[in-house]
A and B are shown apart, each in its own frame.
Chain A
Amino acid sequence: MSLKTGAMSIGHQATGGAEICFVERDVFDLAKRFLERQVRCVDALWAAMQERDFERIRKTGHDLKGSGGAYGLDALSYLGTELENAASAQDGDLVELLLATLEQQLSAIELRVAAIGQQEIATQVSAVAGSTT
């Protein structure tokens, strides 16, 4: 199990094909809505790709870069950055590859309410870090 201390997703673990993300209770509803929006957004991005509307793809990538990480989903933030760059360069092949990756990533994410607080997670991370050095 890997642990991380994001602002919202306070830990995650990969189990089989699923990426389980632990989210603080007070923002869980927002995280859920965020993921639902991203799923709809991918459909819109495929449509934008059909029309070679790179500006729209660039803007969406830009937003994902900012919001993905804030929700503690760093992989989405990274894909947002790559999408923004590929769209700026009008590289259609790369955009399609990134959209397919994003789609796959979104379908793998499973949100769970974190049962422990950030402080405890941080303590565990320190303990894990200490035991591996």
Chain B
Amino acid sequence: MLALGRSTMRVALLEDDPNQSELLARWLEMAGHRCHAFDKGAELLRDLERETYDALILDWTVPDVSGVEVLRRLRQKLRHHTPVLFVTARQQEEDIVNALKQGADDYMIKPVRRHEFLARVEAVARRTRALTPENSSFETESFRVDMQTRTLTKNDQSLELTTKDFELATLFLRNIGRLMSRGHIREMVWGLDANVTSRTLDTHVSRVRNKLGLTPETGWRLAAVYRYGYRLEQLNKPRPNIPEEE
């Protein structure tokens, strides 16, 4: 049930209380987002070495590595710029200040309410990248994506694309300069339960690269990052919001 005008996000949630975790995940899913829940900080950190998300939701008090320590390592060691929303019962001013100083984008004190929670998650994601609603057409340089007719044109020439290639191309064009993990790409294009091999994904990426002419000669590079994922780069522009894990 995706609300019109919203963009689907891939979200990681760190929360050790199953009551809270299940509820937040359900709220996100009912709003059309995809949620990956973790109950330990160390597990999330391990996952972030190979996966990307549109937003992270962190609880403070969790077993092993705390939420604020996850955030600190994320920002300082991994130089990860994924937007972070803290959702915690800790309400002391010093805690809020500490989390924000470590790089949190927003902070909510439990108990949280459904619509405010969803609005804040979407707001932090919007602040760090152009979150174009999924049903909105958009243009970028020589490309024009029409979501109503599901057509992609380059320099006013319509390109012949399969459904999956169109979705893949759209995903890259919405996220120029951003490194996206294979899991992230798979989930956004094929869905949560699809069993898509790495080879299938690579084949589609290669086809999109050829059909869209994403080559250095045309000012683009669709770069593979070894064992991690892909990033569409515009060669004459600086790269915004790029995690440096590779």
Q: How far is the CA of A34 from the CA of B88 in the complex (A)?
A: 19
CB distance from A77 to the nearest CB of B (A): 5
Task: Give a binary string over B101-117; 1 marks a CB under 8 Å from any A CB, 0 the rest.
Answer: 00000000011111101
CA distance A11 to B132 in the complex (A): 35
CB of B61 within 8 A of CB of A62, answer: yes
**B19 and A71: CB pair below 8 A?**
yes
In the complex, which residue of chain A has the Cβ closest to the Cβ of B17?
A63
B residues 3-55 in Cβ contact with A at 8 Å: 17-20, 22-24, 26-27, 30
Q: Which residues from chain B sit less than 8 Å from chain A, CB to CB? A: 17-20, 22-24, 26-27, 30, 61, 88-89, 110-115, 117
The bracket for how many chain A residues form the interface is 20 to 34
Known A26-B30, A62-B61, A63-B17; contact A68-B111, beta-carbon cutoff 8 A: yes
| Contact partners of B111 in chain A: CB under 8 A | 7, 65-70, 74, 77
Give min CB distance, A12 to chain B, whole Å. Answer: 15
Q: List 10 A-B contacts (CB under 8 A).
A: A7-B27, A7-B113, A27-B27, A30-B19, A33-B22, A37-B18, A37-B19, A63-B20, A66-B110, A70-B111
CB atoms of B89 and A70 under 8 A apart: no
Residues of B contacting A: mostly: helix
Q: Name the residue among B18, B20, B111, B115 with the largest chain A CB count within 10 angstroms.
A: B111
Contact A67 B115 (CB under 8 A): no
Question: Are B19 and A63 in touch, CB under 8 angstroms?
Answer: yes
Chain A residue at minimal CB-CB distance from B19:
A67
Report how far A52 CA is from B113 CA in the complex, Å: 34
C-alpha spacing A28/B89, complex, angstroms: 24
Interface hits, A35-82 → B, CB 8 Å: 37, 59, 62-63, 65-71, 74, 77
Instruction: Check if A70 sits within 8 Å of B20, measured CB to CB.
Output: yes
| A110 to B228 alpha-carbon distance, docked (Å) | 49
Q: Kindly provide the distance from the CB of B1 to the nearest chain A CB, expressed in whole angstroms.
A: 8
Q: Shortest CB–CB separation between residue B77 and chain A, in angstroms?
A: 28
